[in-house]
Amino acid sequence: MSRDPCRSLRWLLLQLGLGLAWITLLATRASAPVGVGLTPAQVGQMLLLAGWLPSVALAVWQMGHRSWRALIASDVFGAGLLVLLACTAYVPLFFFHVVWFLPLALLPRGVLAELLDRLLPRLWDP
């Protein structure tokens, strides 16, 4: 892992951007005919505030601990915490809408951000 601040910031933006892109994709699925009665904007807002925003602290921690072992372990730990939170504390708040948190929790954003961070410079440099 390099300690270059620009590369670390790029990695953090990739990690957080992956979460936002995933939320956008999930929110668009809420408008499908078999949706759960929420608008895409409501699903997006729910996931952003209750799922993505708490994960910012994990992303900042991962930025400083980018070994594969640490990224995999922290992605699994973060996913477990979000699933546990969704299945306990969020049930009274969101009722059966907690199902939207599961795909958000299971996206290994730290690992994917590291893969993209290593792949993008190779694609741009001939």
* 1 pLDDT more than 50: no
- Are 71 and 62 in contact by the 8 Å Cβ rule? The answer is yes
Distance in angstroms (rounded) separating the CA atoms of residues 107 and 112: 9
What is the pLDDT at residue 122? 82
For residue 113, which amino acid is it?
A
pLDDT of residue 20 exceeding 50 = yes
Least confident of 27-31, 87-91, 106-110: 27-31
The pLDDT of residue 126 is 58
Do residues 30 and 40 touch, judged by C-beta distance below 8 A? yes
In the predicted structure, residue 110 carries a pLDDT above the cut 60? yes
Q: At what angle are helices 56-64 and 68-87 packed, to 10 degrees?
A: 170
Q: How far apart are CA 52 and CA 16, in angstroms?
A: 8
| Sequence-separated (6 or more) residues with CB below 8 Å from residue 60 | 12
Sign of dihedral through CA atoms 68, 24, 83, 54?
A: positive
Lowest mean per-residue pLDDT among 1-15, 25-39, 67-81, 107-121:
25-39
Q: How much is the pLDDT for 120?
A: 84
State the Rg of the chain over Cα.
16
Examine the pLDDT at 75 and tell me if it is beyond 50. Answer: yes
Answer whether residue 6 shows pLDDT above 60: yes
